[in-house]
Amino acid sequence: MEKRRCDFSLGAEGRVSEKALLYHDTRWCKPEHRDGELFAMLILEGMQAGVSWNLILEKEENFRRAFDGFDPEIVAGYAEEKIAELMQDAGIIRNRRKIEAAIANARAFLKVQEEFGSFDAFIWSFTEGKVVDHHLSDIKAMPAKDVLSEQVSAALKRRGFKFAGPTIVYSYLQGIGVINDHWEHCEFR
């Protein structure tokens, strides 16, 4: 018997890629506390601006390869030569502003780690380590942003993060499990 999922995870006409299903079932809205993955998701969410999340998931392995496994210490040191290399990589989103934002975000990420001991401690402090569960029953009830994402966005921007507006941050908070927007009937809550 097929498991019940969030209706929007099925995609157009009930079809969805295996990568999207795997992401929905095992990662989306699941609490993440590893700094490396928190950084990876921050960069992937920024890359997603203006394109579909399915495209990002299809290219995720390429992003991880191209961005040195999303190691923030390595990414923070990228110079013009590496930017030029990334701009030629057809396996990723070749947007100079997004690539430069990834570098700026790596530098800001490292400063947050220094200040708080880990990025995990910083990002989860906004909810005192608790998951915000919206108990959704309809996609119309899911906001694009909320007070929490506006608060986190402002804090990130003050610390020098780019591509960190409230809508991107809301999606990020879902992606790392700070927000649980799985529908009530979803078996992957």
pLDDT at 18: 87
Residue range of the domain that includes 50: 32-180
44 Cβ partners below 8 Å, 6+ apart?
A: 56, 60, 63, 175
List beta partners, residue 132: 179
Token output for 87: 């701009």
Q: Is 183 in contact with 136 (CB distance < 8 Å)?
A: yes
pLDDT at 12: 52
Question: Around Cβ 87, how many Cβ atoms within 10 Å?
Answer: 12
Backbone angles phi, psi at 179, to 5 degrees: -110, 130
Q: What is the dihedral of CA 122, 123, 125, 127, to 10 degrees?
A: 180
Catalytic-role residue among 45, 170, 172, 183:
45
186 lies in some domain: no
Residue with tokens 């608060």: 151
124 is catalytic: no
164 lies in some domain: yes
Backbone CA torsion sign across 86, 41, 137, 128:
negative
Catalytic-role residue among 53, 58, 60, 100:
53
For residue 103, give the CATH number of its domain: 1.10.340.30
19 lies in some domain: no
pTM for the full predicted model: 0.94
pLDDT at 8: 63
116 lies in some domain: yes
Quickly list DSSP for 119-166.
HHHHHHHTTTT--EE--BSSGGG--S--HHHHHHHHHHHHTT-SS--H
21 lies in some domain: no
18 is catalytic: no
pLDDT at 140: 77
pLDDT at 11: 53
60 is catalytic: no
94 lies in some domain: yes
Alpha-carbon span 110 to 95, nearest angstrom:
23
pLDDT at 10: 52
User: Hey, is 173 helix, strand or coil?
Assistant: helix
Domain count, the chain: 1
**Beta strand residue intervals within the chain, DSSP E:** 132-133, 179-180
pLDDT tens for the chain, 189 residues: list them. Answer: 678 888 765 555 556 788 998 999 999 999 999 999 999 999 999 999 999 999 999 999 999 999 999 999 999 999 999 999 999 999 999 999 999 999 999 999 999 999 999 999 999 999 999 999 999 887 778 899 999 999 999 999 999 999 999 999 999 999 999 999 999 989 998
149 lies in some domain: yes
Token output for 60: 């995720």
pLDDT at 121: 98
66 lies in some domain: yes
User: Hey, is 29 helix, strand or coil?
Assistant: coil
